[in-house]
Structure 1
Amino acid sequence: MRAALATSPAKDDHPNEDFAAAIPGAAILLDGAGLSGTRSTCHHGVAWFTRRLGGALVDLLSTDGAPDLRDVLAAGIGSVADAHRATCDVADPSSPSATVVLLRLAGPHVDYLVLADSVLVLDLVDGEPLVVSDDREAIVGRRYRSAMDNAANDTPEHDAARRTYVEALRAHRNQPGGFWVAADNPSAAAEALTGSVPVREMTSAALLSDGASRIADRFHLADWSEVLRLLSTDGPTEVINRVRDAERKDPDGKQWPRGKTHDDATIAYLTDLAG
C-alpha cells in the first residue's frame, strides 16, 4: 500500500486539530471538534485529544490479529478517556471529540469504519466511487444553523450565531436520535458505519476531513470521480489548494454558507492496495 498525506491548518496561529496516519495495511483520519470561546470542561484541548486518540488507534491497528474496527475504536476511545478522566469532566458535551475514518487491509478485503462527517471515498474498478459519510450531525444541525448561515463570516454576528449553533448541537451529541462522535464513551463506536470491499474491486481510497471534502460536498467544484482523478494526477496537496482558493474567493460565506471560513483540511490518499 502506498500513502500520500497532506494537511493544512485553518489558521497559521492555531493548532491543526486534524490527525492522519498511515501504517502498513491501515490508515487513520480524525477531525477534532470544539470551539474556542465556548465553555469546555477539558483543559487539554482538541488538538491534544485527536493526537492522543490517533496514537492509540495506530497502536491498536499495528497489533497482529487486531479485532473488528468497531472494537478497535472502542478501545481507543476508552484509553484516551481514562488518560484525562481524573483532571477533566470527559462526559460533559463540551469536552473534545473527533470524527473517525479507519481503513484496514484484511486479506483479500478492505475493511472500513466511518464515524461522523469525515469522508471515505473508494475508487472502484467498475462504476461510480463508493462514498461513505455519516450525515447525522448535518441532519440535526439543519434546524439550528439558519442564523449562522445568514450572517457574514468573521463578523461578531456570525461568531455569536456559531457559538449558539455549537451549544445547541452539544445536546444531541452521542444521544439516540442525535449524532455520534468519538469522545468519552466507547459505545459510540457501535454506531459507526462499517463495511468491507474486495481489494480486487478497488484502485484507490481517499480519507478526507470535512475541511478538505468541501471541494465536492459544499463547494461542488468537482464530483468525487473528478476528485479521485485529481488526487491521482496532482496529489492531495492540490485538492487542498483548490479548497483554499475557493475559500479566499468567498470570505464572507455568501456563496457557500459555512460555519468556518477556513477549516483544517487533511487528506490521506491510498493506492496500490494489493501491494
Structure 2
Amino acid sequence: MRSELISVPGDPTRPDEDYASVGLPASGQGGSIVVLDGVTPPATDQGCLHSVPWFTARLGGALHELSVSRRDLTLAEVLGHAIARTADAHRATCDLSHPRTPQATVVLARWSEALVEYLVLSDSALLIESPAGAVIPVLDDRLSRVPHATLRSAAATDAILRNKEGGFFTAAADPSVASRAVTGTLPRSEVRALTALTDGATRWVEKFGEGDWTDLFTLIRKEGGRSLIDRVRTLERAETAATYLGRSKPHDDATVVYAEL
C-alpha cells in the first residue's frame, strides 16, 4: 500500500480546521482513511468553550481509533460512537444544542481483504478508482441543493436547514446524524485506489471547472496532493471577487488523502 496525506490551511495565521489520518492495523490486512472539514462559525456566540480544531481533533481521533479497532461496527455506527464520545467530552461545560456548536463534514473509508466500506457526510468528497481506471465520486450533495440566497445568511441556514429534515447534515453533537450519511460497500477487487478531499481541494472541479473527477484523480496520482492544492491557490489568487464563484472566503483549508490499496 502507498499513501499520501497533506493539509494546507487557508490562512497561515489561523489554525487548520481540517483533520486527516490513515490507519494501518498491525495485522497488515486492511486500513482506514478519516478526513474532516471543520465548519468555521461566524464571529458570534457558539455556545461552546472549545475551538473547531479542538472538536475536529477529538472527533477525528475517535474515528481513527474506532475505524481500525472496531471492525464489528459499520462505519455509520463508528461515526455515531465517535460523535457521542466527543459530545461527552464537553457536555458538562458547553451548550451542545446550539446550532453553531462545533461540527464537521466527514469522509470515512475502510478496507479489508474482502471489502471496501465508505461513508460521506456533507460536502467533502471521496473518489474511488477501479482497476480499469474508472473514477466514481461519492458525494453528499444536499448542501449544494440549498438555494444560494439562503446560504448567504448563516443565521437563516442554521435555523432552517442545518441538521434539519429537508436541509443538510454535519457531525456535531447528535449521534443519530450518522444515519444520514451516504454509505456503501464494494468488493476489494473492484477498488485500486481512494482519494478523500475537503472542499478546499475540490474547488478545482466544483468551483473552477478545471477538469472532472477523473482528471483530478489523475493529477493527484501523477503529481501529488500538494500540486492540486497549489493549483487551487493560484486560481483563487487570480479571482479577486470571491463571491463571483460562490466562495464564502478567498482561501479555505484544503486536505487531500490518497491511498493505493
Shorter-normalised TM-score: what interval?
A: over 0.9
- The count of residues paired between Structure 1 and Structure 2 equals 254
Which of 209, 232, 238 lines up with 2:221 in the alignment?
232
Per-residue displacement from partner, 1:56-96 (whole Å, max 9, x unpaired)?
11111221534100000000000001100111101110111
1:195-234 alignment runs, 5 A limit: 195-234=184-223
Structure 2 counterparts to residues 134-149 of structure 1, below 5 A: 134-145=140-151, 148=152
Q: Tell me how far apart the structure 2 counterparts of residues 178 and 205 of structure 1 sit (CA, whole Å).
A: 28
Q: Does 1:259 align with 2:248?
A: yes
Q: Counterpart in 2 of 1:89?
A: 95
- What amino acid maps onto 2:211 in structure 1? A
Q: Counterpart of 2:150 in 1: which secondary structure?
A: coil
How much does 1:127 deviate? 6.6
Residue 166 of structure 1 pairs with residue 172 of structure 2: no
Instruction: Tell me the distance in 2 between the aligned counterparts of 1:40 and 1:14.
Output: 18
User: Which 4+ stretches in 1 moved above 6 angstroms?
Assistant: none
TM-score by length of 2: 0.93
Q: How big is the shift at 1:253?
A: 2.1
Structure 2 unmatched runs, 5+: 25-30
Q: Is the 8 A contact 2:197 2:257 kept in 1?
A: yes
Q: Report the AA paired with residue 177 of structure 1.
A: G
What are the superposed Cα offsets for residues 194-231 of structure 1, whole Å, 9 maximum, x if unpaired? 01122222221110000001011111112111111111
CA distance in 2, matches of 1:207, 1:218: 17
Shift of 1:141: 4.4
Q: 1:110 aligns with which of 116, 131, 135?
A: 116
Kindly, what percent of the aligned residue pairs are identical?
Answer: 41
- 1: CA distance between counterparts of 2:220 and 2:34? 18
Matched residue SS, 2:69? coil
Aligned match of 2:5: 5
- Paired residues for 1:75-86 under 5 Å: 75-86=81-92
Instruction: Provide the TM-score with structure 1 as the length reference.
Output: 0.88
CA distance in 2, matches of 1:96, 1:255: 28
Amino acid at match of 2:256: I
